[in-house]
Amino acid sequence: MSKTENDSTPEAKGVGRPGIKFTDEQKELIRRLSELFCSQTEIAYALGVNRSTIERHAKDLMADGKARGRVKLRRAQMDKALEGNPTMLIWLGKQMLGQSDAPGDEGENLVLPWEVK
């Protein structure tokens, strides 16, 4: 049986709302707000959309923005440390180099050379 114009065979149609397409300006706003570590709710408010829209359609943009924010934050911390800020030097030493305030117990079981067995 061939199809004619009068056939009532249903064709697949999209269900629900049409997908959202963010403009370039909106994408940049999402990235910039993510750099500041804004929540999905805050970004949705700034764009005038629902939080679930941001969650579903802007994950990659938010991840990109947060990565850029971490790089900027790390650069600022490093600059402060290299300026000689003792607090930042200590903190970065602990975070990046595994240093600690308490001496380790690495050598507690070693026999000292002047100790008699």
Distances (CA, A) of 26 to 33, 43, 111: 10, 10, 66
pLDDT of residue 116: 60
SS3 state at 43: helix
Residue type for 23, please? T
One digit per residue, the tens of pLDDT, for the chain of length 117 reads: 554 545 444 555 667 777 789 999 999 999 999 999 999 999 999 999 999 999 999 999 999 999 999 999 989 999 999 999 999 888 888 888 888 887 666 656 666 677 565
C-alpha distances out from residue 37 to 13, 72, 80, 95, Å:
39, 12, 21, 20
**What pLDDT score was predicted for residue 17?**
73
As given in the structure block, the two tokens for residue 61 are 């943009």
Report CA torsion sign: 104, 110, 115, 116.
positive
Q: What is the pLDDT of residue 109?
A: 65
> Which residue has 């359609």 as its token pair?
57
Count the Cβ atoms, other than its own, within 10 Å of residue 42: 15
Predicted TM-score of the model (pTM) = 0.65
